A and B are shown apart, each in its own frame.
Chain A
């Protein structure tokens, strides 16, 4: 399982775009990059997943460079409700266990 490294914490303001970068130097050819969001006292929930280039959904965008050794989660126009911990994960097989890193604690200020 590829190890991931991301900032421990970030602060931003409402209405701003937030970019959280994650490095995964040892990512394997078959691995996908997945981001989860966790609010206090809740289980994590899936945000976005990608293999390469750019992926966008109704919540976020995920940018992955050609070498796939890093990825950037982009949250457009954040609000207070986006305050949460964001985990970057590299996943392989379909039912493989997932090992969580420390995550990034995002704090949105008014």
Chain B
């Protein structure tokens, strides 16, 4: 089946630094990708929609200047957490719709997630 990877799988950084997380669709192309954040024992919260060739669309309450998204190609989206603070510590997950590889309605393929810890 279709695979989505994320890199790194975990990262620890100091407060005030920036961290980049990559999301790749390995065997299919995705003009759209989604970024989620998940705190312990909570559900996934959609942060933004990454669009290849255009600006990302952010959900209400998500700071676009803090969470920079770049959809560099049809297989790569990056999320940069700028000036990270301890409250940004979370599990970040990306997904890509498998429109080109799945007959199911809007089947999303999720990455394994990136654990960010800000000290």
Contacts and interface: CB of A to CB of B under 8 A. Distances in A.
Contacts, number: 65
B4 to A, nearest CB: 8
A11 B105 CA distance: 30
Interface residues of B, number: 26
A34 B112 contact: no
Tell me the interface secondary structure of chain B in the complex. Answer: strand
Interface residues of A, number: 24
Contacts of B15: none
A49 interface: yes
18 contacts: A34-B105, A34-B107, A41-B115, A43-B95, A49-B107, A87-B43, A91-B105, A93-B106, A94-B99, A95-B106, A96-B106, A97-B34, A97-B46, A98-B106, A99-B46, A100-B43, A101-B43, A103-B43
Interface of B: 4, 31-32, 34, 36, 43-46, 49, 91, 93, 95, 97, 99, 104-113, 115
